Structure 1
Amino acid sequence: MSLPTIPKQRAVIDRRALAQKITRVVEDKGAEAGRGEIVELLRAALAAGRAEMARRLTERPSAGHEIAHGHAFLADQLIRVVHDHVIDNVYPSHNRSTGERLTLVAVGGYGRYEMAPHSDIDIAFLTPGKPTAWCEQAIEAMLYFLWDLNLTVGHSSRSLDEMVRMAKEDLTIRTALLEGRFLWGDQALYDEATARFFADVVSGSEKKFVAEKLAEREARHKRMGDSRYVVEPNVKDGKGALRDLQTLYWIGKYVYRVRNAAELVDKGLFTQREYGTFRRAESFLLAVRAHLHTIAKRGEDRLTFDLQREVARRMNYADRPGKSAVERFMQFYFLQVQHVGHLTGVFLAHFEEEAVEKGRVAGFFSSLRNKKTETVSGYLLDGGRLAAPEDDWFQADPVRLIEVFKVAEAQGVEIHPATLRMLRRDSGLIDRALRRDPRANALFLDVLCGHRDPETILRAMNEAGVFGRFVPDFGKVGGQMQFDMYHHYTVDEHTIRAIGLLARIERGEFAEDHPLATQILPKIANRRVLYVATLLHDIAKGRGGDHSVLGAEVALKLCPRLGLDEDETELVSWLVAKHLLMSATSFKRDLTDYKTITDFAGEVSSMERLRLLTVLTIVDIRAVGPGIWNSWKRQLLTELYELTEERLRLGHKAHGREARVADKKARVADILGSQAELIEQLEDRFDDSYWIAEPEDIIAINLPHYEAARLLDHKLSIHTEFYPALGATLVTVIGNDHPGLFFRIAGAIHLAGGNIIDARIHTNRIGKAVDNFLVQDPLGKPFDEPAQLQRLKTAIEDALANRIDIVPRLEKRPLKSRRAENFHVKPMILFDNEASNRFTVIEVNATDRPALLNRLTRAMFETSLLINSAHITQYGERAVDTFYVTDLLGTKITSKERLDKVRQALLEAIAAGEPEFEAEAATAQ
């Protein structure tokens, strides 16, 4: 294969000048005595070459091919100098036998002439037969020189027969040798090795190789998350990354004997335009990988949060309104891997056709094809996949660009990759006229609201480039990520997943995980409103401003185009505008507060809107990523739905305070059974506010616990219990109330490894504190092992007895994730005196830290606030903590001066754990 030309090669390394310096050292001191000096010459050349390549990367930060080839060139020249020195000076042999022949073969990525700054150097040392003593000595000497340069060398030493035998047995070896390139040594021996490899290993094994490579690819994708759109992708092994491009080349080379990727065009596997896309994607990914290695100073291929910002900066991305530089960089990254996904489908489709026609590897694909071809709505059903009957099918009627997806969804089949290739090629036919075509919009709506599998079809539509062209607002969020730890996928992928989840719930597949949504969906009258709202709920992200408000405006313009009437359009717009309302109310407000439900019911105003918003909220949260949805969120949303349903159904006839307390007591009595008399026995201890605030199942736990502590005269009683209904652990602390109780308990729970997700603080009529905390571990799981529960009790006892100094120990605890170190949330304190009739509601937004809750509650204690309840939520690195408070007299905080003092105290509490915000807290004084 012809090697790429490296600009100004001698600026990278001057092999002749280096060899001459080594020769002079040998002449002056001898090979052995001068070895140290020779190693230093090699080190200096390597360092200078790397510095030159780093300079070029800075000057041309997107020149991926040039940088990859430059590092391979540098390695080549060093190895050739080392080889010549060893052969000529260290182990010279002027009359070598036929067995004393040696060729060096660059294999793997190095053989492909693509190296990142810290890539391994993979070399195969080949000999005609069993290596002679001279060969072994020479190989060992070369390796020692390379190791002295601190190079990571992957090496093998084999005879030609061993090479053939091992390549037949091992796919990895076969793949590495497939990319073998003559490096240095005996050219004739290399030519013989190449001929034998293709004749003895490759010939006749094409079918097996393709099958193994595709299986290897699938396994790698699963290992990496099986999505192109994970927000911390692997630039080498991730789906749509470099390894996928290389797999295409390997298959092409193995079956068609191409010498480089450009020859894939000559073989008809790519068009010239597709090859251009291949090269651009490959160059970009190689450049990103080079920057990763340079920044990390090691072989790092993961584009992690801590590296994304710096790579974006080095590649000259800048902030734009609504989008940071790192988000723009990552959006371009995801668009490139989307192109790779398309190229993979194109390649394999054309390869399959060629294979079947020419009889090559036909056996592998025979299971994918059905000789009998059916016709469906004018399309061919080829091997169970929908195919366009003619090459100009879409050009003849561009509405078919949408129709093909509708037919595929209705039939429950995939679209043939060859047809996807045509779709991508012809997607430019989608213009303003087609977007306004009623038939096209009706077909699109059929796909979106499909009953079989809209997710798969919409993802195919997206990757074919049709989705973003037909709905340009959706195209704007294609590949767009949010630079935080909460969102796991790009906006377009999240949206498509949400639609898929909605369809699966509707089909009854998630009755156990989502019983409420499963129960609600059949009652919804406006089914297509729900699907369109799911499509549009995040469509205005990245524009600057509130994406809910901006998205609602998009809905008003787009829905009529899609064929929705005025009422449907208004409803979609309302859902998009309010799609965060239900989760914010559930997770950040006290659902036992009468006004919370009154206000929420007033916003929703009808059962249909409540049902639609509930289902949209559920699929939105669940589609964020793994581990985001849990039983605690399910319970809160269900509780808000049921309370709002009652309010909407009964209106002003809803139960008054006395009726609600009586109803709660009756339900607690049912749970307590034989212990029901405790309700009457403790009547003088607990007032109505306790009965209204706590769920009946928690009261049924509290009352026996309280009575036992009373009978035993315990000054402090701590109860821990796994609470399966909420996927959390209930921690109840009963004791004499005293100032600062909350922040000490909160700190102790965190020291024991727990996260408080909800807390209710009660002081009964005789001054006893009855405090209930719901606790999970850092992964959102409950504490359910006896040792874990005991650890919680011991930590609380020690904290309340002042046996431990909480804050210093909390500050030493590591973050839940090391990735959190890369994110800092600007603190925000919000006061709301309208959300509750009895309490001032304080919402604190800040970077999540182990000591945060302890610091915040201590600050409230020091500013003479009484906390009635706390609701703790994490959105990745962002903590959103809400507190219902009063002053010491039990009244709201209304004085501006007093609110300013509380704000300052809270900012200082946050700044103590976030040094970068200390100045901000100081200027707020």
Structure 2
Amino acid sequence: MTERLSAVPATRHCLDLAALNGLGSDPAELAPALREARTAADARLQQAFERDVDIRELVHARAWVIEQLILLAWERLAPAGAGLELVAVGGFGRGELHPHSDVDLLILLPDDTSPEAHAQPLERFIQVLWDADLHPGQSVRTVADCVAEAERDVSVATNLMEARLLAGGGSLFRAMCRATEPPGLWPADEFFAAKVEEQDERHAQYEDTIYNLEPNLKDGPGGLRDIQMIGWVTHRHFGTSTLHGLVEHGFLSEREHDDLVAGRDYLWRVRWALHALAGRSEERLLFEYQRRLAEAFGFGDPTDSNQPVEQFMQRYYRNVMQLARLNERLLQSFDEELLAGRKHLPSSDIDEHFRVHQGYLELKDPHAFVIHPELLMRLFLVLSEHPDILGVRASTIRLVREHLYLIDEDYRRDPAILHQFLTLLRSPRLVYSQLARMNRYGVLAALLPAFGQITGRMQFDLFHVYTVDQHTLFLIRNLRRFAYGKYPEQFGHAIEVFKRIERPEVLYLGALFHDIAKGRGGDHSELGARDAREFVDQLDMSEADREMVVWLVEDHLLMSRTSQREDITDPEVVHRFVERVGSQRRLNHLFVLTVADIAATSPKLWNSWKDSLLWELYVAASEALSRGPDQAVDRQASVAETRAEALAGLVERGAEASDVEGLWSTLPDSAFLRLDSEQLIWTSSEVLAGSKLPLVACRRLPEKGISEVFVHAEDFSGLFAVVARELDRMQLNVLAARVVTSEDARSWDIFQVMDANGQPLNPSDAARLRQSLAEQLSAKEVRPLPPRPVPRRLQPFMGRSEISLGESQGRTRLDIAATDRPGLLSAIAEAMVARGLRLFDARVATFGQRVEDVFLVGEGDGQALDAEACQALEAELRKRLDV
């Protein structure tokens, strides 16, 4: 706890105090003058920041500037002779302020004084600070109030630890300091336990990972709060106010201290720039700032490429990862030092090199890694073999980090080391936990240098929520969940298929290498397969297992692409897929890996819909493999099989076979390829029971997590646009569209949708949709959807849409890849209407926030578009999409 700040070099000439000395106590005069002085000082400090002045000088300089302005207001407005004291707390107490940081103040009152006694002058004081745009956050308390609040809330106690006297005699301030210090209040062990719990809760808000798309550099894991946490515990336990106290007490080496300070300074620079860009106290690296920050920090112009953003964010993540590692190790050290409750935990030898010390694994001889480098790998095997061990002692973690240099090329090719690694992957337990620990300690990147290249590498899109290394580890975590049978309601099919996997280590190796070549340029699947080949050829595995690993890496996207981008009801699509897969064993591995991969890409990406698509493809491929992959595709046999199944189902429900056959006589064969028997039974029943057109029906498919909307109406050029508009207006997410037109010019279209919350439609929404669509289809009127604003998170990704046109099946195939946004499908449909085109088929696919849609269109007479018409359609689409 310190008193007044001293001026620092960066404050020179940035604040003209002499010009303010003549101010009176009139708030109408005082507030504008303070605001003008603050604005001018901030502008000069920003210029200093752009000249690369030391960030430590700048954050302390700004705190000094704000302190001078607050003191001037206090001297003019505080009640004289009342015994009040003004105290800085929080970041302001530490003397650290960024361009838009809050200014935390505590006004201490004598114990025999109520806040109401001085309410009017204090309210004037605070109002002047607000009017001067100084962002005050204030509390008015007696010393007794402070003690009571600090005793109840550890965050208040933490704030008071950083208190600094600004104005007043100081007797109240000193009394408060004495009363809130340990051991009387929050002894070091209790304080530490409470702060660890607080940090755990804070980290949980960010899914306990530093790798979020828009990370919070203050409160997220590895952020500034984690550094402050270390400082708070150090202060409480050792009574030192600097991080260097950790070196003096043996908790950090000088190098680690320098790394910690350098990491803090880097985050301070990013935070300063972020505040300046946002014009407010923004702590999140939002997408709209990431591009500008990348350019500001010298990574190049991000206008034409995402590479500068990805490089800037990789540097950010690597800095934060380093800080998170230091935070983890230091908290482990504090835990060993402070928590007496651990003393009862077991201590025993494991072997000649390792022992358990009060529940944590420890290397007996601190020089053992140099003599026996293989112990760097052996450590993780020991942990997997002893699940009762709580973790690794902080001193041993430090030894691991200090001896990473031993993992050189000879080490990586050592058969004994590779055998240990493979043994770890074959372990029945704790595989993910130890791989994640290897990543945290830097061992995984040292053992697999290619993995080091993807550490902290983000992809600037809304599809990949995590960095490549974190995604890879989460994929392996999902595979381990399948092995344990966890979350059967989400992963029932994957759990069932995983039981057929004889050697799971093949899957784990495929997972480790599947994205290892991201960011190198070229096809990451092919490049990753080469890396995988080089690595597995050194392992003691069968040739078949090695081939499986390499194939999984090279074709890890095959199943997701086929299920989501192609019509898997088409037997030719299934046949091509089966030809590529080749065996049931490969199919089993690929299915499990694909499910784990999608679920590890984003917490919101995996759903019942994707599960049903993959499972449908898996079952169809299994059946095809059982018949033999070389068996020719018989489309007519497939049509006949679907017709027979659907007819039997309809007759069972009481329909006359002749009525059904008469109804189907106008449907093209494509209807029996594109619709399954259940869809044919449902839609045919609705048409047979309906009395007039248009007919709109809805049904819930809870097992797939979707609803289906059936539209049967007289066909006209704007029919698809009418439906798309209404689905967009109700903010429904269209997952797939199956468009069929009968020979008597009637639509037989099915739309598979979810509501805005990713759920099937509720009954009231379904009823509204049926009524509204029926009315608009009767009128045959296309009402353009009013433009809707693009959500903030999407705006940085609204680049030029990818549009291609070509001939297919005697018509024109239109492929569109774009960022999904409100009204997109409707805009595409309206462009077709504007050009007078007919829609004959549609396949809609959404991947996170990216859509890849395919449409089969033609002129009014059904003919393909000529070159001029194609150009006109593309121009119409760009006018509506690229805004």
Verify: 1:821 aligned to 2:795, yes or no: yes
Deviates more, 1:566-575 or 1:531-540: 566-575
Q: Note if contact 1:665-1:679 (Cα within 8 Å) is conserved in structure 2.
A: no
- TM-score (normalised: structure 2): 0.92
* Mapping 1:514-533, distance limit 5 Å: 514-524=491-501, 527-533=504-510
Partner secondary structure for residue 731 of structure 1: strand
Distance 1:509 1:495, change over 3 A: same
Question: Among 416, 419, 440, which residue is 2:392 paired with?
Answer: 416
One-letter amino acid of the counterpart of residue 416, structure 1: V
Q: CA deviation at 1:838?
A: 8.3
Q: Note if contact 1:748-1:799 (Cα within 8 Å) is conserved in structure 2.
A: no
Per the alignment, residue 681 of structure 1 pairs with 659
Per the alignment, residue 176 of structure 1 pairs with 159
Q: Let me know the Cα RMSD of the aligned residues.
A: 3.0
Question: Among 74, 93, 100, which residue is 2:65 paired with?
Answer: 74
Q: CA deviation at 1:603?
A: 1.9
Write out per-residue CA displacement over residues 622-651 of structure 1, whole angstroms, 9 at most, x where no aligned residue: 101111011111121122222222223324
* CA–CA distance in structure 2, aligned partners of residues 885 and 584 of structure 1: 23
* Mapping 1:597-676, distance limit 5 Å: 597-651=574-628, 653=631, 656-669=634-647, 671-672=649-650, 674-675=652-653
Q: CA deviation at 1:774?
A: 0.8
Q: CA deviation at 1:717?
A: 1.0
Verify: 1:440 aligned to 2:440, yes or no: no
- TM-score (normalised: structure 1): 0.88
* Mapping 1:391-402, distance limit 5 Å: 391-402=366-377
Per the alignment, residue 8 of structure 2 pairs with 6
Q: Note if contact 1:679-1:703 (Cα within 8 Å) is conserved in structure 2.
A: no
Q: CA deviation at 1:571?
A: 3.4
Verify: 1:222 aligned to 2:222, yes or no: no
Q: CA deviation at 1:180?
A: 1.0
* CA–CA distance in structure 1, aligned partners of residues 852 and 573 of structure 2: 18
* CA–CA distance in structure 1, aligned partners of residues 283 and 44 of structure 2: 22
Q: Note if contact 2:14-2:45 (Cα within 8 Å) is conserved in structure 1.
A: yes
One-letter amino acid of the counterpart of residue 736, structure 1: E
Per the alignment, residue 39 of structure 2 pairs with 47
* CA–CA distance in structure 2, aligned partners of residues 639 and 183 of structure 1: 70
Partner secondary structure for residue 587 of structure 1: helix
Partner secondary structure for residue 21 of structure 2: helix
Per the alignment, residue 906 of structure 1 pairs with 874
Question: Among 252, 265, 290, which residue is 1:308 paired with?
Answer: 290
Write out per-residue CA displacement over residues 586-626 of structure 1, whole angstroms, 9 at most, x where no aligned residue: 11111222321222222222222222222221111110111
Percent identity reads 32
One-letter amino acid of the counterpart of residue 706, structure 1: V
* CA–CA distance in structure 1, aligned partners of residues 288 and 656 of structure 2: 56
Distance 1:160 1:521, change over 3 A: closer
* CA–CA distance in structure 1, aligned partners of residues 182 and 739 of structure 2: 79
Per the alignment, residue 853 of structure 2 pairs with 881
One-letter amino acid of the counterpart of residue 391, structure 2: I
* Mapping 1:756-775, distance limit 5 Å: 756-775=734-753
* Mapping 1:253-292, distance limit 5 Å: 253-292=235-274
Unaligned 5+ residue runs, structure 2? none
Distance 1:322 1:558, change over 3 A: farther
Distance 1:245 1:679, change over 3 A: farther
Q: CA deviation at 1:498?
A: 0.2
Q: Note if contact 1:312-1:325 (Cα within 8 Å) is conserved in structure 2.
A: yes
**Count of matched residue positions in the alignment of Structure 1 and Structure 2:** 873
Q: Note if contact 2:575-2:633 (Cα within 8 Å) is conserved in structure 1.
A: no
Q: Note if contact 1:685-1:765 (Cα within 8 Å) is conserved in structure 2.
A: no
Q: Note if contact 1:755-1:778 (Cα within 8 Å) is conserved in structure 2.
A: yes
Q: Note if contact 1:101-1:135 (Cα within 8 Å) is conserved in structure 2.
A: no
Q: Note if contact 2:694-2:778 (Cα within 8 Å) is conserved in structure 1.
A: no
Q: Note if contact 2:7-2:61 (Cα within 8 Å) is conserved in structure 1.
A: no
Distance 1:212 1:527, change over 3 A: closer
Per the alignment, residue 755 of structure 1 pairs with 733
Q: CA deviation at 1:35?
A: 5.5
Question: Among 674, 692, 696, which residue is 1:693 paired with?
Answer: 674
Q: CA deviation at 1:831?
A: 5.5
One-letter amino acid of the counterpart of residue 385, structure 1: Y
Partner secondary structure for residue 138 of structure 2: strand
One-letter amino acid of the counterpart of residue 497, structure 1: F
One-letter amino acid of the counterpart of residue 912, structure 1: R
Verify: 1:847 aligned to 2:819, yes or no: yes
Q: CA deviation at 1:696?
A: 1.4
Verify: 1:777 aligned to 2:758, yes or no: no
One-letter amino acid of the counterpart of residue 720, structure 2: F
Partner secondary structure for residue 719 of structure 1: strand
Unaligned 5+ residue runs, structure 1? 26-30, 356-360, 916-925
Write out per-residue CA displacement over residues 389-447 of structure 1, whole angstroms, 9 at most, x where no aligned residue: 22223222122111211221233345314122221222222111111111112222333
* CA–CA distance in structure 1, aligned partners of residues 488 and 130 of structure 2: 60
Question: Among 135, 148, 154, which residue is 1:152 paired with?
Answer: 135
Distance 1:76 1:561, change over 3 A: farther
Question: Among 757, 761, 764, which residue is 1:787 paired with?
Answer: 764
Per the alignment, residue 506 of structure 1 pairs with 483
* CA–CA distance in structure 2, aligned partners of residues 377 and 685 of structure 1: 81
One-letter amino acid of the counterpart of residue 196, structure 2: L
Per the alignment, residue 490 of structure 1 pairs with 467
Q: CA deviation at 1:677?
A: 3.9
Write out per-residue CA displacement over residues 484-542 of structure 1, whole angstroms, 9 at most, x where no aligned residue: 11111111000000011112112322444233322333334564332211111111111
Verify: 1:390 aligned to 2:365, yes or no: yes
Q: CA deviation at 1:789?
A: 0.4
Distance 1:561 1:231, change over 3 A: farther
* CA–CA distance in structure 1, aligned partners of residues 846 and 277 of structure 2: 31
Q: Note if contact 1:327-1:481 (Cα within 8 Å) is conserved in structure 2.
A: yes
Q: Note if contact 1:678-1:703 (Cα within 8 Å) is conserved in structure 2.
A: no
* CA–CA distance in structure 2, aligned partners of residues 515 and 155 of structure 1: 54
* CA–CA distance in structure 2, aligned partners of residues 137 and 403 of structure 1: 69
* Mapping 1:548-559, distance limit 5 Å: 548-559=525-536
* CA–CA distance in structure 2, aligned partners of residues 430 and 323 of structure 1: 33
* CA–CA distance in structure 2, aligned partners of residues 756 and 596 of structure 1: 22
Q: CA deviation at 1:473?
A: 0.5
* CA–CA distance in structure 1, aligned partners of residues 412 and 326 of structure 2: 26
Deviates more, 1:396-405 or 1:648-657: 648-657
Q: Note if contact 1:537-1:579 (Cα within 8 Å) is conserved in structure 2.
A: yes
* CA–CA distance in structure 2, aligned partners of residues 683 and 497 of structure 1: 51
One-letter amino acid of the counterpart of residue 190, structure 1: F
Deviates more, 1:454-463 or 1:522-531: 522-531
Distance 1:829 1:567, change over 3 A: farther
Question: Among 56, 79, 92, which residue is 2:48 paired with?
Answer: 56
Q: CA deviation at 1:347?
A: 1.2
* Mapping 1:533-544, distance limit 5 Å: 533-544=510-521
Q: CA deviation at 1:691?
A: 2.3
Q: CA deviation at 1:701?
A: 0.6
Question: Among 127, 131, 148, which residue is 1:165 paired with?
Answer: 148
Deviates more, 1:845-854 or 1:632-641: 845-854
Q: CA deviation at 1:582?
A: 1.6
Per the alignment, residue 97 of structure 2 pairs with 115
* CA–CA distance in structure 2, aligned partners of residues 175 and 39 of structure 1: 31
Deviates more, 1:257-266 or 1:136-145: 136-145
Question: Among 174, 186, 190, which residue is 2:173 paired with?
Answer: 190
One-letter amino acid of the counterpart of residue 176, structure 1: N
Q: Note if contact 2:231-2:241 (Cα within 8 Å) is conserved in structure 1.
A: no
Q: Note if contact 2:836-2:860 (Cα within 8 Å) is conserved in structure 1.
A: yes
